[in-house]
Amino acid sequence: MSETFVLPVGPQHPALKEPTSFRFKVDGEYIIDADLRLGYNHRGMEKGCEARTYVQDIYLLERVCGICSNAHMTCFAQGVERLMGIEPPPRGLFIRCLMGELERIHSHLLWLGVAGHEIGFDTFFMYTWRDREVVMDLLEMVSGNRVNYGMQTFGGVRRDLDGTQIKTLLEGIAALKARTPYYLNLGATEPTMVARIKGVGLLPKQKAIELNTAGPTARASGVDFDVRKDDPYAGFGDLIPFTIVTDDGCDVLARVVVRAKEMMASYDIMEFILKNLPAGEIRTKAPRRVPEGETVSRVEAQRGECIHYIRANGTDKPDRVKVRAPTLANWPATLYMLRGAFLADIPIIMAAIDPCLSCTDRMAVISDCRGNEKVWDWETLRQHGIDFHRRRGIRP
């Protein structure tokens, strides 16, 4: 007769360097059931947005995520632009798309490295991260910063591209384009890697649709959904051609393949953008006050569909901002993938959705064991944070 017991994993360091907590019901090496607890990394950003002006919010929301910073910034900027009733000029839209694709390359290369590291293939990790430096340098050259690029603003983008930059970008993209098929082939031919990821973390197409998965996780299960194609934003749709990448493997190997092929698609998009960059202004003037109204803005971030809901009350501060990061959409599918898997596959199955936990964590109402509920306003939350650190001897 088999005996099961519950194994807690996390919240400190549950395979990735971010806090989340799992409860695994295990029978020997097999996971029978998995449960997830979020909420360890709440930062009060949505509430913080309400106390700041739109211009300040764009930089705050950029910092929702270190990897998808441009996606969040774009999502918020285009939502507010819709409320303001302004449209960026074509050159601004092209540079907006270019930044999104550069960020996608950097994120996918980072993920390939992390996936290699999680399965103990650190050589792969070293090589992908070395090549990632090429795209990081390009991002730094275009925006002036390696992370948190600060390129998007209401009515367009903040920096223009000159001839030298376009030339350097094309050279960098060509170098990466020559390099990426190597990783794709390696993922499919290196026996140790294939043995470790093939058939692991299975998510059938029907389940992927039922559990509302987003991004490369969904596309690796054969779901051909991509915001860039299904709800085109910025220059996508009429101006910039785009092909969707899917795979029917439904396992971690398929997620590696989808991401590698998506990078190849991104290189083509970027080359098209740089060779067909329209002349003219990069931004239009935006008002400081936003007319009353509400909107939902969607962007295809590297990890999936990123949604921002913005409600304006006619002042220079938003009434409500809600951020739905793609990781939240992928958690139910992760739990499904973990059930029936081996204990040793937890890190790679978790890493395969490319989770970003601090982007996902939300908390507005705190209830104690007696059922009392208390809504924390921004000032109370801030004071709580200061007191919390002071009690631990950290000077605020």
Partner 1 sequence: MSLRLGAMLPEVFRHLFKRPATVLYPFERNTVPRGLRGRPVMDPDKCIGCRMCERDCPAEAIEIKQESEATMPDGKVKKRYSMTLYLDRCAHCAQCEEICPAKPDKAVKLNEYFEEAAFDRGALKIVYK
Q: Which stretch binds partner 1 (CB under 8 A): 53-61, 302-310, 361-369, 372-380?
A: 53-61
**Rounded Cα gap, residues 211 and 206, in angstroms:** 9
Place of tokens 């979020």: 38
Q: Which is nearer to partner 1, 121 or 272 (CB)?
A: 121
Strand partners, 321: 310
Residue type, position 4, single letter: T
Q: Among 53, 212, 295, 313, which residue sits at the site for partner 1 (rule: CB under 8 A)?
A: 53
Give least dist CB 325 to partner 1, A: 20
**What values do phi and psi take at 106, rounded to 5?**
-65, -40
Q: Which stretch binds partner 1 (CB under 8 A): 20-28, 51-59, 244-252, 382-390?
A: 51-59
Q: Among 29, 37, 120, 145, which residue sits at the site for partner 1 (rule: CB under 8 A)?
A: 145
Q: Which stretch binds partner 1 (CB under 8 A): 139-147, 210-218, 262-270, 299-307?
A: 139-147
Three-class secondary structure of residue 52 per DSSP: coil
Closest listed residue to residue 298, CA positions, set 184, 379, 222, 214: 214
Q: Which stretch binds partner 1 (CB under 8 A): 28-36, 138-146, 326-334, 339-347?
A: 138-146
Q: Among 24, 76, 111, 127, which residue sits at the site for partner 1 (rule: CB under 8 A)?
A: 127
Give least dist CB 124 to partner 1, A: 7
42 CB-near residues (< 8 Å, 6+ apart):
361, 362, 363
Give least dist CB 126 to partner 1, A: 9
Closest listed residue to residue 260, CA positions, set 109, 118, 58: 109
Could you say whether residue 63 binds partner 1 (CB under 8 A)?
yes
Q: How many residues bind partner 1 (CB under 8 A)?
A: 31
**Residues 149-208 contacting partner 1, CB under 8 A:** 150, 158-159, 182, 185-186, 188-191, 194
Could you say whether residue 12 binds partner 1 (CB under 8 A)?
no
Q: Among 122, 133, 230, 377, which residue sits at the site for partner 1 (rule: CB under 8 A)?
A: 133
Q: Where are the beta strands (DSSP E) in 273-353?
A: 293-301, 304-312, 318-324
Q: Which is nearer to partner 1, 127 or 242 (CB)?
A: 127
For residues 77-95, one letter each, b for 16 or more C-beta atoms within 10 angstroms of the residue's C-beta and e for the rest, the string is bbbbbebbebebbbbbbbb
Q: Which stretch binds partner 1 (CB under 8 A): 95-103, 130-138, 324-332, 354-362?
A: 130-138
Could you say whether residue 56 binds partner 1 (CB under 8 A)?
yes
Quote the DSSP letter at residue 370. T
**Beta carbons of 124 and 186 less than 8 angstroms apart:** yes
Q: Which is nearer to partner 1, 133 or 230 (CB)?
A: 133
For residues 196-217, one letter each, b for 16 or more C-beta atoms within 10 angstroms of the residue's C-beta and e for the rest, the string is bbeebbbbeeebbeebebbbbb
- Torsion angle, alpha carbons of 216, 223, 249, 183, to 10: -30
Give least dist CB 137 to partner 1, A: 8
Q: Among 8, 85, 144, 287, which residue sits at the site for partner 1 (rule: CB under 8 A)?
A: 144
Q: Which is nearer to partner 1, 52 or 303 (CB)?
A: 52
**Beta carbons of 270 and 161 less than 8 angstroms apart:** no
Q: Among 30, 40, 59, 309, which residue sits at the site for partner 1 (rule: CB under 8 A)?
A: 59
Largest distance between two CA atoms of the chain: 74
Could you say whether residue 389 binds partner 1 (CB under 8 A)?
no
Binding site for partner 1 (CB under 8 A): 52-53, 55-60, 63, 123-124, 127, 130, 133, 137, 140-141, 144-145, 148, 150, 158-159, 182, 185-186, 188-191, 194
